[in-house]
């Protein structure tokens, strides 16, 4: 073969090889890009399917209902309480509270005047006296009640309960901050403007509203007192029958804070105002004690669902106590 022709053949062969090499490079580059895209897609899908790690968990920003709150660990209750922003309040602590068959972690807050308030979760709740399941008196209690029947014409115990206790009902309540200790009405009205034309109840409502607070409704007060229990009293269905709840009382449960950490319904004379001006809660103004109706009758005034009509005599309004509250939005 002549040299020139040999060179042309060699050049053609080299060109063909080069073309195949370029094609291989292009094909490899395209394959790599395709593979990279597929890996990215698969990786994204895998991340989407990946279970959330513990550090991804977000605590709820709202207060859960009471049933859910009672299942929370201390750390979870602490996180929720610290996350609440309530005007005028600062978070204080979380502590364990228990009475009767209820026990839970309770978050406490301080109002700007230093008063302590407890967080009371709400939700769907059962309140009131269940007439189909009346508590039974023990032997000593029955003797006391029989004396009340003989001397004052009281109805049989279960029938009497139906007349003085709030009825069985289902309610839905917002979470609340509730003052742990009620204040005498004079203290609640200290510094409030005088208004000769307004009732004491109206003045209390106005004084609390000026601080962004309010009284508890009847349902809220009963929920606050029962603190999740469904017994007649916050500690159970029995009471002492040998002495009244006044003066030197040896019954330890009376002085124990309830499962919301509240000092509540401890003295029948120290009744509390509620939003309804026609009704008092937490006592009867000492009616049963003063009237000598018997030990059990006097203890009933401290039962969670007990309600008593407000006296017509306005002088009794100067003896009441005020427990402040605010709903958590």
* Residue 248: per-residue pLDDT: 86
The rounded distance, in Å, linking the Cα atoms of 243 and 141 is 11
215 Cβ neighbours under 8 A, 6+ residues apart = 204, 205, 208, 273, 274, 275, 322, 323, 324, 325
* Residue 312: per-residue pLDDT: 62
Of 78 and 19, the one with more pLDDT: 78
Q: Are strands 102-111 and 89-99 parallel, antiparallel or unpaired?
A: antiparallel
* Residue 319: per-residue pLDDT: 82
Averaged pLDDT score across all residues of the chain? 85
Question: What is the pTM for the complete model shown?
Answer: 0.81
The rounded distance, in Å, linking the Cα atoms of 185 and 317 is 8
The rounded distance, in Å, linking the Cα atoms of 123 and 86 is 19
The rounded distance, in Å, linking the Cα atoms of 87 and 78 is 19
Q: Are strands 272-273 and 325-327 parallel, antiparallel or unpaired?
A: unpaired
> pLDDT tens digits, residue range 214-271?
999 999 999 999 999 999 999 999 999 999 999 889 999 999 999 999 999 999 999 9
> pLDDT tens digits, residue range 61-88?
589 999 999 999 999 999 999 999 999 9
Element (H, E) at 11: helix 3-49
Q: Domain limits of the chain?
A: 3-50, 66-327
DSSP assignment of 245-307: SSSS---HHHHS--TTS-B-S--TTS-EE-SSTTEEES--TTHHHHHT--HHHHHHTTSTTB-
CB 244 within 8 A of CB 147: no
List beta partners, residue 129. 167
CATH of the domain spanning 66-327, picked from 3.90.1170, 3.90.1580, 1.10.132, 2.60.40: 3.90.1580
Q: How many CB atoms lie within 10 A of CB 194?
A: 7
């Amino acid at each position: 073969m002549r040299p020139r022709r040999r060179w042309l053949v060699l050049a053609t062969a080299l060109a063909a090889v080069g073309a195949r090499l370029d094609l291989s490079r292009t094909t490899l580059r395209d394959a790599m890009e395709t593979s990279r895209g597929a890996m990215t897609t698969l990786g994204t899908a895998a991340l989407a399917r990946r279970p959330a790690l513990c550090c991804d968990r977000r605590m709820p920003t709202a207060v859960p209902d009471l049933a859910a709150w009672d299942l929370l660990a201390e750390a979870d209750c602490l996180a929720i309480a610290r996350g609440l922003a309530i005007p005028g309040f600062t978070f204080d602590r979380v502590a364990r509270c228990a009475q009767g068959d209820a026990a839970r972690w309770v978050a406490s807050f301080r109002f700007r005047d230093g008063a302590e308030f407890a967080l009371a979760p709400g939700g769907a709740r059962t309140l009131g006296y269940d007439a189909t399941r009346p508590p039974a008196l023990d032997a000593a209690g029955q003797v006391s009640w029989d004396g009340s029947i003989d001397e004052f014409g009281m109805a049989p115990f279960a029938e009497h309960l139906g007349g003085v206790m709030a009825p069985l009902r289902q309610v839905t309540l917002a979470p609340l901050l509730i003052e742990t200790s009620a204040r005498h009405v004079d203290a609640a009205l200290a510094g409030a403007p005088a208004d000769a034309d307004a009732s004491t109840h109206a003045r209390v409502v106005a004084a609390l509203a000026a601080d962004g607070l309010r009284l508890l409704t009847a349902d809220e007060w009963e929920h606050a007192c029962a603190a999740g229990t469904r017994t007649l009293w916050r500690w159970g269905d029995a009471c002492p029958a040998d002495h009244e709840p006044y003066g030197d009382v040896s019954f330890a449960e009376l002085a124990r804070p309830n499962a919301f950490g509240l000092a509540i319904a401890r003295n029948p004379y120290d009744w509390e105002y509620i939003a309804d001006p026609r009704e008092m809660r937490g006592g009867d103004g000492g009616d049963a004690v003063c009237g000598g109706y018997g030990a059990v009758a006097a203890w009933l005034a401290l039962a969670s669902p007990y309600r008593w009509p407000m006296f017509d005599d306005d002088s009794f309004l100067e003896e009441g106590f005020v427990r402040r509250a605010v709903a958590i939005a």
